[in-house]
Chains A and B, each alone.
Chain A
Amino acid sequence: MARHFVRLKLRLIRNGLRLGSAQVVGLVLSLCVALPLAGLGFTLLAVVPRAEPDARLPVAVLSFTAVFVGWLLAPLLAFGTDDTLDPARLALLPLTRRQLMTGLLAASTIGVVPLAILVALSGAVVGFSPPGPGAVVVVAAVVVELLLCVTASRALVTSLSGFLRSRRARDISVVVSVTLVLVFNLAVQVSGRVLGAADRAAVDQLAKVLGWLPPGLVARAAVDAGDGHLLTALGELGLGAAAVVVLLMVWAAALDRLSTTAESATTTTRAPGLFSGILRFLPRTRSGAVAAKDLRYAWRDPRRRAGLISVAPVAFLPLASILFSDGGAGPVLVLAALTSAGLVVIQSLNHLGMDGPPYWVNVAAGEDLRADLGGKTLATVLLGTPLCTGVALMIAALTGGWAYVPLVVVLAVGLLLLGTGVSNVVSVLAPQPVPEGTNPWASGNTGQGCATGLITLLGMGVMAVLCVPVVIAVVGALAVWRPGLVAVSLVTVAYGYVLWRAGLAMAARRAEGRLPELLEAISPKRAG
């Protein structure tokens, strides 16, 4: 049975590559990342114990624990990318639980990442093995560590899979994964500084504590075997193996539960009305309805919410630079809040494509592209302006540049109009279908990823060029006569409005009467 699963997994990887060059590139990229990391891990575990005997224990314990935690979390973030290993899919096959478990275990050791980790861990065999029977214990420790990783991750995924399948959980996981990527980036930057400062004693202390958890115990077994304490090593290994058995039991119980319970349904009740709450002031017209829908979608649609969240770190970059600088930041820095306006606009570059197939409702109601684009502009301005204002207020609180806040508000409106003018044209001239599904990183198999990226870049370039006069005027006013900024910001609104009207006219001329074709263009081609 294990053989069947392994062959299934290999076949899936091979068939995946046949889908197109994107998958091949993906595999090559992941090999390029994984193999050097594997080499690094191997070297660390193979060389450090011999070269620096004092560091043996912390290196072993910390690396075994890191591998364990990483293996545990990875499938949670990428859940849904490998449906074949989703036990619910296999529930109808006449497999015994034992067959299912051995098969799934074997299959989850196949792949680039498990291979890389096996390579890295086998460094321990080189680094710790003493001559004699102790070497067997070290090899066993590596195997037990691998088993720990695989069973723990399977048990966790299976226990959570009912939850992960629900709509709400998938929505949340999109946001969580985006947030984690952002946090990870931050952590990498911060940890460099922290590790540089941390003293050895703290690391030793941490290793001591982690040494009592199963992966740590297994690591200690390898270290003790290397030192010749065979009995201690065997004891520690036994505890690690016992943990594997416990995890297998947890997993078995979770599998039973999964095959006998149905998915839970989620229902979300919202305040009644498209225009309830803060959207009460919107006009009750076609444009108003489109704006209200887009604003509600900004938070309710996980893809757009993820986009909005990814704006946050850039929006707060000015804040961070103030906090890390030595207090030399001037009040002018408030103007940096405008970068978040740019980010909101960039996300609107394909705003018709973001609507996708449901846009048929607008087409069936009779074409009125101007009203639809007007509503989308309204939504972008209403989303971007408060965002900019909020960031500006925060920077002002730190720098005292309150006088610049009203200027930011006015400039934001002008720049958002300018940007939407461009995105109205781009989304009509080059509409891109957005693949369905909730994974914001998935570009699908449409081979569209590259084209979409180029069009986005082109749109951003046009926006940047159109912004040049504004930047020159602002910088000039700052250098020559600061009150002139008031005039500059007002003129920017007029400038943005003119460009927006021009963009709308261009888009309408191009697409008036061609909405059915536009609808085809934004509908992803369905497989099969």
Chain B
Amino acid sequence: MSTEAPSADGGPGEEGGTGHHALLLVNLAKSFATMRAVDGVSLAVPHGCFFGLVGPNGAGKTTALRMATGLLRPDAGTAVVDGIDVWRDPRAAKARIGVLPEDLRLFDRLTGTELLSYTGLLRSMPEVVIGERSVELLGVLGLSEAANTLVVDYSHGMRKKVALAAALLHGPRILFLDEPFEAIDPVSARAIRGVLERYTDGGATVIFSSHVMELVERLCDRVAVMHQGRVVSEGSLDEVRGSRASLEDAFVELVGATEVDSRGLGWLGTSSG
């Protein structure tokens, strides 16, 4: 099933082969207090791929993505982005990636335009380039009118879109998106999807986590299913789906959820007041 994933014991041969992958995680692990949030995750994501990371709440997706993007130091294991070890050479690795985190904590007392200037200058981009790309990105994402509004006054969908613009500004080769479509209205979701499809058409890689199985099925070439800090299945969409009708069925089966017992709860919907 996971032919492309590196074997958990051997790992990749030092430099050899890592260049073939946009992202390579080997035995990545992280514990918080008593909980093992990520328990030895190994993943290989080829270049130019639209990769979906799915799993129930608390499966460790966010923690894994934070470790892969250099925001949270792993207890063990390695994360290699575009051939560069994220934790040995963080600056070079971070130059190649863009990140859209789940919780969207932004410097929200800046306007959309100001936030993009700030982000671009942090990456030492020339001011002219930042200006041009900001206008273009805000336009494509439908934020032109709100460009000079403080981000704190944005709606949730607008915050996601401006954060996506900030993640794309420096033209990263690999984009990490944590729940990009959560709590997003269909119009914003379509705008985001459009930008992402154009982005991968250019040979770049998108790695995103999601709960929305239909979307993952529609967008992704490859999928990994996480459960309780481990990858329980990984491969192309067809490989993960196997003989099951849909990704959702496969997901529910892999994660081991039980069917709802229909005998209880008979009183539901009987309230008169």
Number of A-B pairs, beta carbon distance below 8 Å: 109
Could you tell me the distance in whole angstroms from the C-beta of A349 to the nearest C-beta in chain B?
Answer: 20
- Tell yes or no: B8 within 8 A of A by CB: no
Partner of B111, one of A272, A286, A356, A513: A272
Could you tell me the distance in whole angstroms from the C-beta of A445 to the nearest C-beta in chain B?
Answer: 19
Q: Which residues of A contact B106 (CB under 8 A)?
A: 358, 361
Q: For the complex, give the distance between the alpha carbons of A361 and B100 in Å.
A: 10
Docked-complex contact B70 and A267, CB < 8 angstroms: no
Identify the closest chain A residue to B111 (Cβ). A270
Docked-complex contact B71 and A274, CB < 8 angstroms: no
Could you tell me the distance in whole angstroms from the C-beta of B191 to the nearest C-beta in chain A?
Answer: 20
Could you tell me the distance in whole angstroms from the C-beta of A434 to the nearest C-beta in chain B?
Answer: 13
| A274 in contact with B118 given A364-B99, A517-B73 (CB within 8 Å) | yes
Most B CB within 10 A of own CB, among A270, A274, A285, A363: A274
Which one of A114-122, A296-304, A410-418 is at the B interface?
A296-304
| A272 in contact with B121 given A284-B127, A358-B108, A364-B70 (CB within 8 Å) | no
Most B CB within 10 A of own CB, among A266, A356, A364, A519: A364
Could you tell me the distance in whole angstroms from the C-beta of A431 to the nearest C-beta in chain B?
Answer: 16
Q: For the complex, give the distance between the alpha carbons of A94 and B148 in Å.
A: 42
- Tell yes or no: A238 within 8 A of B by CB: no
Docked-complex contact B123 and A366, CB < 8 angstroms: yes
Docked-complex contact A167 and B99, CB < 8 angstroms: no
- Tell yes or no: A139 within 8 A of B by CB: no
| A361 in contact with B117 given A266-B153, A519-B71 (CB within 8 Å) | no
- Tell yes or no: A401 within 8 A of B by CB: no
Identify the closest chain B residue to A357 (Cβ). B105
Which one of B36-44, B90-98, B203-211, B261-269 is at the A interface?
B90-98
- Tell yes or no: A265 within 8 A of B by CB: yes
Docked-complex contact B152 and A167, CB < 8 angstroms: yes
Docked-complex contact B99 and A516, CB < 8 angstroms: no
Could you tell me the distance in whole angstroms from the C-beta of B56 to the nearest C-beta in chain A?
Answer: 18
- Tell yes or no: A51 within 8 A of B by CB: no
Q: Which residues of A contact B273 (CB under 8 A)?
A: 94
Partner of A364, one of B94, B110, B150: B94
Q: For the complex, give the distance between the alpha carbons of A271 and B94 in Å.
A: 31
Q: Which residues of B contact A263 (CB under 8 A)?
A: none
Contact with A along B134-162 (1 / 0, CB 8 A): 00000000000011111011000000000
Docked-complex contact B109 and A296, CB < 8 angstroms: yes
| A366 in contact with B127 given A274-B117, A296-B110 (CB within 8 Å) | no
Contact with B along A107-128 (1 / 0, CB 8 A): 0000000000000000000000
Chain A residues 210-251 with CB under 8 Å of chain B are: none
Docked-complex contact B90 and A267, CB < 8 angstroms: no
- Tell yes or no: B114 within 8 A of A by CB: yes
Partner of A289, one of B94, B95, B117, B146: B117
Q: Which residues of A contact B148 (CB under 8 A)?
A: 269-272
- Tell yes or no: A293 within 8 A of B by CB: yes
- Tell yes or no: A365 within 8 A of B by CB: yes
Partner of B122, one of A270, A271, A355, A361: A361
Q: Which residues of B contact A289 (CB under 8 A)?
A: 117-118, 121-122
Q: Which residues of A contact B122 (CB under 8 A)?
A: 286, 289-290, 361-362, 365-366, 368
Q: For the complex, give the distance between the alpha carbons of A266 and B149 in Å.
A: 10
Docked-complex contact B114 and A274, CB < 8 angstroms: yes
- Tell yes or no: B62 within 8 A of A by CB: no
Docked-complex contact A301 and B95, CB < 8 angstroms: no
Identify the closest chain B residue to A514 (Cβ). B73
Q: For the complex, give the distance between the alpha carbons of A367 and B88 in Å.
A: 12
- Tell yes or no: A360 within 8 A of B by CB: yes
| A365 in contact with B119 given A268-B150, A268-B153, A517-B73 (CB within 8 Å) | yes
- Tell yes or no: A275 within 8 A of B by CB: yes
- Tell yes or no: B18 within 8 A of A by CB: no
Range class of the A interface residue count: 35 or more
Docked-complex contact B71 and A363, CB < 8 angstroms: yes
Identify the closest chain B residue to A436 (Cβ). B105
Q: Which residues of B contact A356 (CB under 8 A)?
A: 105
Q: Which residues of A contact B119 (CB under 8 A)?
A: 361, 365
- Tell yes or no: A453 within 8 A of B by CB: no
Q: Which residues of B contact A284 (CB under 8 A)?
A: 121, 126-127
Identify the closest chain A residue to B150 (Cβ). A268
Docked-complex contact A273 and B117, CB < 8 angstroms: yes
| A367 in contact with B118 given A270-B111, A285-B124, A296-B110 (CB within 8 Å) | no
- Tell yes or no: A288 within 8 A of B by CB: yes
Q: Which residues of A contact B149 (CB under 8 A)?
A: 267-270
Q: Which residues of A contact B103 (CB under 8 A)?
A: 357
- Tell yes or no: B72 within 8 A of A by CB: yes
Q: For the complex, give the distance between the alpha carbons of A269 and B101 in Å.
A: 26
Q: Which residues of A contact B99 (CB under 8 A)?
A: 364
Q: For the complex, give the distance between the alpha carbons of A356 and B106 in Å.
A: 10
Docked-complex contact B153 and A267, CB < 8 angstroms: yes
Most A CB within 10 A of own CB, among B90, B109, B122: B122
- Tell yes or no: B63 within 8 A of A by CB: no
- Tell yes or no: B166 within 8 A of A by CB: yes
Q: Which residues of A contact B101 (CB under 8 A)?
A: 360
| A272 in contact with B113 given A265-B153, A284-B127, A361-B119 (CB within 8 Å) | yes
Docked-complex contact B124 and A286, CB < 8 angstroms: yes
- Tell yes or no: B233 within 8 A of A by CB: no
Contact with B along A64-99 (1 / 0, CB 8 A): 000000000000000000000000000000100000
- Tell yes or no: B78 within 8 A of A by CB: no
Docked-complex contact A358 and B107, CB < 8 angstroms: yes
Partner of B69, one of A265, A269, A296, A364: A364
Q: Which residues of A contact B91 (CB under 8 A)?
A: 366-368
| A272 in contact with B118 given A284-B127, A367-B90 (CB within 8 Å) | no
Q: Which residues of B contact A (CB under 8 A)?
A: 69-73, 90-91, 94-95, 99, 101, 103, 105-111, 113-114, 117-119, 121-124, 126-127, 146-150, 152-153, 166, 273
The 5 lowest CB-CB distance pairs between A and B, nearest first, are A289-B121, A357-B105, A365-B122, A300-B109, A366-B91
18 contacts between A and B (CB under 8 A): A269-B148, A270-B111, A272-B111, A274-B114, A274-B121, A284-B121, A285-B121, A286-B122, A289-B118, A293-B107, A293-B110, A293-B114, A300-B109, A361-B106, A365-B122, A366-B95, A368-B122, A519-B71
Q: Which residues of A contact B (CB under 8 A)?
A: 94, 167, 265-275, 284-286, 288-290, 292-293, 296-297, 300-301, 355-358, 360-368, 513, 516-517, 519-520
12 extra A-B contacts, CB within 8 A, seeds A270-B114, A361-B107, A363-B70: A267-B146, A268-B149, A272-B148, A273-B113, A273-B114, A274-B113, A286-B122, A355-B107, A365-B119, A366-B94, A368-B91, A519-B71
